[in-house]
Structure 1
Amino acid sequence: MASVSGMVVRSSEIKPLAKIILYKCPEGHVTEVPLERGLSIYAPSKCSHERCTQRDLRIDPENSKFIDFQIVRLQELPEDLPPGQLPHYIDVTIRQDLVDNARPGDRIILTGLVRIEQEQISGTRINSGLHRLRIEGNNIEFLGGRGTKNSRKSEREEISPEEEKIIKSLAKSDDIYDRLIGSFAPHIQGHTIIKEAILLLIVGSTQRILQDGTKVRGDINIFLVGDPGCLNGYSKVILEDGRIVDLASLGKNHLEHIRIRMQNEEGNDVATVFHKYENQKVIEIVTETGKNIVGTYNHPLLTKNGWKRLDELKEDDELRVVT
């Protein structure tokens, strides 16, 4: 028995898997063939009745027993991968009540039996010397508090007349588009293009039908690629009580859940997740008073003229610092 965590990236259609197949000969005798192991069932060469010599056997699907069957592909979680490494994946077979439980994009913990299956040479019935691993799943848990498929019901939000009035008023604003972009992760400064992409992905558009009948779908696909902007562990942060501590002292493990109240330019905020990255290229900034900060090239700092990445800073730029 093994338990692995990962993200579902592919799921097959639901198919009936034969648990017991019944074969009938022309004389009406029944031959029962059970599924013993794996996914292969070998048809009998002749009738199993001791006095029958018939070899023309046909499947009786109405009296055979089938169960729901599906194959899903489980891939390593992106946050568990070292920078630049491609994720590994494994195919998982699930049956009966687990079918259609996990869908692409779900993060799950899967428990099951590890099987080794022999591969066949393509286009032939010759068995290959190669084998592949497969997990026969028997339990699925969702990461992050997700429920089962029975609890996934989209609830329609009821909009009150007052809220509808506010929405229509906002729609008439000239800067509504910029305000919507700024509403995404307002505590993260900059990254306007990424926030705009997320907005367009969520809102989408209407389907268009061209004059030649071609349909242009309204939904869009967005692929975001980028390295995380971060500071080194010796960088200082200010806690709510005024203490100044090293960033590394806030946690130990990557994506560790924390709850630490800190100060920022707008007042107080709560840090909830500790990020830890290794082997990142960094740059050091030194001020005229001797203060220094080390971080990745794309980490933003607050200047007199707004937020800038570390690699965008130039001499004579004024930074906001704590004294």
Structure 2
Amino acid sequence: MSGWDEGNVFYSDQDLVDQNAVDNGVANRLVVQGKFKEFIRSYGELNGYFPYRASLLQNSSFLPVNLDDLDNFDMDMGDLIRKNPAEYMPMFEAAAADVAVGLKAKVAGDRGDMEEPTSGDVQVLLTSKQNPMSIRALTADSISKLVKITGIIIAASRTKAKATSVTLLCKNCKSTKVVPCRPGLGGAIMPRTCDHPTQPGEEPCPLDPFVVAPDKSKYIDQQTLKLQENPEDVPTGEMPRNMLLAVDRTLVQKIVPGTRVTVLGIYSIYQAGGSSGPQKGAVAVRQPYLRVLGLEQAIDGKSRGALDFDDAQEQKFKEFARSPDVYAKICNMIAPSIFGHSDVKKAVACLLFGGSRKFLPDGVRLRGDINVLLLGDPSTAKSQFLKFAEKTAPIAVYTSGKGSSAAGLTASVIRDSSSREFYLEGGAMVLADGGVVCIDEFDKMRPEDRVAIHEAMEQQTISIAKAGITTVLNSRTAVLAAANPPSGRYDDLKTAQENIELQTTILSRFDLIFIVKDTRDHTRDMEIARHIVNVHATATSVAKDADGGADKENWLRRYIEYARHSSNPRLSESAANALQTKYVQIRKDMRQRQNDRNGEGSPIPITVRQLEAIIRISESIARMQLSPEASEEHVAEAIRLFTVSTLDAAKSGVAAHITVTPEMRTEIQQVEAQVKRRMGIGSRMSTRNLIEVLGRMGMSENTVRRALIVMEARGEVELMRERRVIQRNA
């Protein structure tokens, strides 16, 4: 019999005796508890500083303990905690509570206070420098052992009241009985008989006489989290594994979905709530979970221990940063198997390093991550750049726009099948917090799904208001997207608006937009062919040297981590002045261009967001050199990158370069009228024949071609350049 009573106290028929608990030769529990007390009191440095005493005096609700310190004090005590933590952790916490009372009494006596300090509950939080194991490596042999795993928190439940002891009231004799509850997700045993002696004249207590007295029971806060494997640790073709975590007391409501954590806890089992149905006979099957004893939160996607660099590594990084051609060397490391595309490689390098994140006094947060869009013809290595970024970035998630929904990219609200409560589950942009999201086939996304990432790309937060859950999740991630034009290939005879069939709202959030074209040039084609053949021909020899290549990629990844962690550049005053002047000039040129085109704006607007983009790119180039400030040289390179990417994309297309005067507009309108008169909808005509016919009417060939381009831009005709044919559309 299992379930929830009206007081929200869980009870079950699980046995309180842990059959795996072994005393390991320690005869007396009091001896073990005494050793724990001695460790807390006496462990310290030679100068007389006792860290655990000081920690208890500062905050007596919890005590962080490093297992390495416990091993240095007594190796046997550390082994007891690792092999049988469920048995000895309560002793450790009881010892910590006793020491806390003694320390408070001593401090109160020194101050002359008359009040006697009371004993309280102290939670011991464990930390360890041992290497974490994979969730996939947890087997039945690990049950009841202390394990350390890493992953991403993808879901968090609401806070519940977990009973530590349940007070039972006999319905017949009104006697009370206190029954302890197992920690974690375990429950309490409901005794079936009352042990109150029957007095003469009293009616004996019946079977199952007890009811729970919720007001007299003791509770602690508890929360359940769902931990998922890091995306980079999931084998190709495998589904990511999940693990349920149970946290209580001071660890409750400390972690939000999307946070990378390192967890130290007891690998435990519990009876799933849905086992009372068709699976009722499978009572021996239990679900695993982790009872958390220590939780280490990540900083910018990496745990605190992972950001430790030894002196030799730091010295090598600083020497590399002092070399004069750092920027060129790093860009040469980006996707070396891809021929050409030097500016795209520089943009990917800037994306991996990122700019400086800023927090303003009024609470506004300015993003430092750089978003890049690669748009162009098929077979131009766009997806290869995305794969390289996913492999090189310390944190990365790769997804395809066709198979991604708004909930999969941002966050979704899921209902738990057993508890029937709603909880949040983070999507790709939440899981990649502090890293890079690579979205391939960006143009294949549904418009409503693409709109969902507007907030995530600029404000770097995801707001959720569903099913009574109102919260904000962090998505501090850079976006590297690849897309194709609507017609499959980039058409120079079309305007930029037609080639880039994306909304202005999403385009303005990309810092750099590259038009990647498959140009037909004999010399370039020969160079690309020679490069591709060499790559395939030397694939075997390259595979033999894979260790060297892996070391190089690992070095670049470590250097990116070090640069993002140690360098936080800002614009210098001279660079800021130069940037202001250049931005105003760019705005003036785009305004003049819009006037020349009769008010038709560019699909890629030049706004304040683009000014911030140039600032972020400048800071990223300075960060590659570990420079504390971005100089004028950095700003000049950032403006050059912005010019060859976003500005050129805004000015792309032959139709965009046509300047129409009032006289030409009248002639074009006459040509349009003649074309519509001579061609029915759906009919085709040779372009040369049309030019000859209209030429006999006094219309020049240039005017006819301009009119056809304008009509094609409106969708009225379709020019087939391969066959030199024009088709009239509806």
2:253 pairs with one of 81, 95, 100: 100
Matched, 1:8 2:153: yes
Matched, 1:39 2:186: yes
Counterparts in 2 of 1:142 and 1:185: CA distance versus 1, 3 Å: closer
Matched, 1:87 2:240: yes
TM-score (normalised: structure 1): 0.52
For 2:455, the aligned partner's letter is L
**Cα shift at 1:105:** 1.2
Distance 2:255 2:644 in 1: 47
**Corresponding residue for residue 131 of structure 1:** 286
Alignment of 1:56-71 (within 5 A): 56-71=209-224
Structure with greater strand percent: 1
**Cα shift at 1:270:** 3.8
**Corresponding residue for residue 268 of structure 2:** 115
**Cα shift at 1:94:** 1.1
Distance 1:113 1:35 in 2: 17
Distance 1:225 1:84 in 2: 22
Counterparts in 2 of 1:225 and 1:33: CA distance versus 1, 3 Å: farther
Structure with greater helix percent: 2
For 1:51, the aligned partner's letter is T
Distance 2:188 2:298 in 1: 36
Residue ranges of structure 1 left out of the alignment (5+ in a row): 148-154, 164-179, 207-216, 228-233, 235-245, 273-301, 308-323
Counterparts in 2 of 1:54 and 1:83: CA distance versus 1, 3 Å: same
**Cα shift at 1:191:** 4.8
Distance 2:188 2:236 in 1: 44
For 1:9, the aligned partner's letter is I
1:219-254 CA-to-partner distances (Å, cap 9, x unmatched) read 99x9x8979xxxxxx9xxxxxxxxxxx986645379
Counterparts in 2 of 1:305 and 1:10: CA distance versus 1, 3 Å: closer
Note if contact 2:150-2:261 (Cα within 8 Å) is conserved in structure 1.
Answer: yes
**Corresponding residue for residue 54 of structure 1:** 205
**Cα shift at 1:51:** 2.8
Distance 1:255 1:82 in 2: 20
Distance 2:256 2:462 in 1: 24
For 1:59, the aligned partner's letter is V
Distance 1:113 1:28 in 2: 38
Counterparts in 2 of 1:116 and 1:59: CA distance versus 1, 3 Å: closer
Farther-moved stretch of structure 1 (196-205 vs 76-85): 196-205
Distance 2:462 2:229 in 1: 32
1:99-136 CA-to-partner distances (Å, cap 9, x unmatched) read 11112111111110001335563426544343321100
Note if contact 1:251-1:258 (Cα within 8 Å) is conserved in structure 2.
Answer: no
Distance 1:88 1:205 in 2: 24
2:295 pairs with one of 134, 140, 153: 140
Corresponding pairs, count = 217
Matched, 1:200 2:353: no
Alignment of 1:121-200 (within 5 A): 121-123=275-277, 125-144=280-299, 157-158=361-362, 185-186=369-370, 189-191=372-374, 199-200=454-455
**Cα shift at 1:16:** 0.9
**Cα shift at 1:255:** 4.5
Distance 2:452 2:215 in 1: 52
Note if contact 2:266-2:290 (Cα within 8 Å) is conserved in structure 1.
Answer: yes
1:50-109 CA-to-partner distances (Å, cap 9, x unmatched) read 337324322211211111111110001123334453311100111111111112111111
Alignment of 1:254-273 (within 5 A): 255-256=557-558, 257-259=561-563, 268-271=621-624
For 2:197, the aligned partner's letter is E
Q: State the identity %.
A: 19
Distance 1:29 1:145 in 2: 56
For 1:252, the aligned partner's letter is N
TM-score (normalised: structure 2): 0.25
**Corresponding residue for residue 279 of structure 1:** none
Note if contact 2:373-2:481 (Cα within 8 Å) is conserved in structure 1.
Answer: no
Counterparts in 2 of 1:189 and 1:71: CA distance versus 1, 3 Å: closer
Matched, 1:73 2:218: no
Matched, 1:28 2:330: no
For 2:249, the aligned partner's letter is Q
For 1:35, the aligned partner's letter is C
Note if contact 1:30-1:48 (Cα within 8 Å) is conserved in structure 2.
Answer: no
Counterparts in 2 of 1:225 and 1:184: CA distance versus 1, 3 Å: closer
**Cα shift at 1:17:** 1.1
Note if contact 2:168-2:213 (Cα within 8 Å) is conserved in structure 1.
Answer: yes
Note if contact 2:247-2:292 (Cα within 8 Å) is conserved in structure 1.
Answer: yes
Note if contact 1:15-1:68 (Cα within 8 Å) is conserved in structure 2.
Answer: yes
Residue ranges of structure 2 left out of the alignment (5+ in a row): 1-145, 304-358, 376-441, 444-449, 464-469, 483-534, 536-547, 568-616, 626-640, 647-730
**Corresponding residue for residue 164 of structure 2:** 19
Note if contact 1:31-1:48 (Cα within 8 Å) is conserved in structure 2.
Answer: no
For 1:16, the aligned partner's letter is A
